[in-house]
Structure 1
Amino acid sequence: MERLQKVIAQSGVTSRRKAERLITDGKVKVNHKVVTELGSKVSGNDEIEVNGIKLEKEAPVYYMLYKPRGVISSLSDDKGRKVVTDFLGDVPERIYPIGRLDYDTSGILLLTNDGEFANLLMHPSHGVEKVYVCKVKGIPDKKDLNRLRKGVKTNNELLKAVGYKIMSVDRTKNTMILEITLNEGKNRHIRRMMEGIGFPVSKLKRERYGLLTLDGMQPGDHRMLNPKEVKKMRHVSR
């Protein structure tokens, strides 16, 4: 179930703010009944009319983008910075990101117009694994790194990793490259967690999302997920 104004906006008819105005003005019907209450929820089986015109549903589509650094995980930016949909200009459907990656973080980002699929992957209780590779300043020891599994408290929030793996150590430059696995994704999760143990991140990339990897892709590339991949991602998220 999704909010009515969100469904209208995602259909491409209008913005969410204008959709809210249409609802309160009595211009929207759900299953032939006028709905004026904001926050009303609808399912994929409900018939929606806006100004007497039936809302046509787009066929669900699923894309993977190799998000470069310096790009916003959004549909627009009031500062004029690049956003992820700038790299998917050939996609006719109105798609939106599933979750987000920080401005300075690169890697796998999924986009879709399927709200149910997005909610499946984002819900923390489903624990879809995401694997990141990060370069940190300093060389943490085993005791430091074991804190990632136990949890690092920052801003009254406990941040945990499922596991970690040391990829390389450069004692000359005093840096370490780590692979870190999460099954949740709080705001700036890895950056805050590593800062919490005293080893800030200088570079971060998401290399795997569930069963999906960046194999054969370069920053800025995107591709459509095939039906088998979509089915497997649904299965993993359940």
Structure 2
Amino acid sequence: MERLQKVIANAGVASRRKAEQMIQDGKVKVNGKLVTELGVKVSDSDRVEVEGIELTKEEKRYFLLYKPRGVVSAVTDDKGRSVVTDYFDDIPERLYPVGRLDYETSGLLLMTNDGEFANLLMHPKYNVEKRYVARVKGIPEKRKNCNNLHVGS
């Protein structure tokens, strides 16, 4: 048994938070009955509908993307910049990045529709070690009264 909002999110319809709002807004039915309260659990045999469309289980997908500079590590961008999901237009599943790289940073990024796996990798309580390599111009120097490193001139 899994929480309804998790099932909706895992089906790629919406994030868990948006799924919770959809439930509260009366847009979800389980076995033909309207559900508006959070906390309802469903099994694989239950029929779940969101806005009249029956959910099907999405196949879990995993991709590695070498994110170039000038691309946002997000699903959408309110400034109209290119985002990592732009590289997956031909993939029907709702993918999202696991972790983030700065806009002007390039590097390897995992893309998936597997929320549980993404959470295991990102949530601090699972203590997954991450390693970053940074290349900078100049020699970093420590400034007085400051714990941050700055690039020297």
Structure 2 partner of 1:28: 28
Aligned to 1:101: 101
Structure with the greater relative contact order (CA < 8 A, sep ≥ 6): 1 or 2? 1
Question: Match for 1:62: what amino acid?
Answer: Y
Secondary structure of 1:118's counterpart equals helix
Secondary structure of 2:29's partner? Answer: strand
- 1:130 matched to 2:81: no
How far has the Cα of 1:84 moved from its partner? 0.2
Secondary structure of 2:57's counterpart equals coil
Question: What is the identity, as a one-letter code, of the residue corresponding to 1:73?
Answer: S
Runs of 4 or more consecutive aligned structure 1 residues displaced over 3 Å after TM superposition: 6-22, 30-34, 39-47
Shift of 1:8: 3.3
TM-score (norm 2): 0.72
Aligned length: 146
Q: What percentage of residue pairs aligned between the two structures are identical?
A: 58
Is 1:198 paired with 2:149?
A: yes
Residue 65 of structure 2 aligns with an amino acid whose one-letter code is L
Q: Cα distance, 1:109 vs. partner?
A: 1.0
Change (3 A) 1:20 1:73: same
Aligned to 1:85, the other structure's residue is in SS state helix
Q: Partner of 1:78 in structure 2?
A: 78
Q: Distance in 2 between matches of 1:66 and 1:44?
A: 37
- Whether the aligned pair in 2 keeps the contact of 1:10 and 1:94 (CA below 8 Å) is no
What is the TM-score normalised by the length of structure 1? 0.49
- Tell me the SS of whatever aligns to 1:63: strand
5+ long unaligned stretches in structure 2 = none
> For the structure 1 residues 81 and 46, does the alpha-carbon distance in structure 2 shift closer, same or farther, using more than 3 Å as the test?
farther
76-85 vs 14-23, which moves further: 14-23
Q: Which runs of 5+ in 1 are unaligned?
A: 145-194, 201-238
Does structure 1 conserve the Cα–Cα contact (< 8 Å) formed by 2:10 and 2:114?
no
Task: Report the CA distance between 1:77 and its aligned residue.
Answer: 1.1
Q: Return the structure number with greater strand share.
A: 1
Q: Distance in 2 between matches of 1:34 and 1:75?
A: 30
Deviation at residue 129 of structure 1 after TM alignment: 2.5
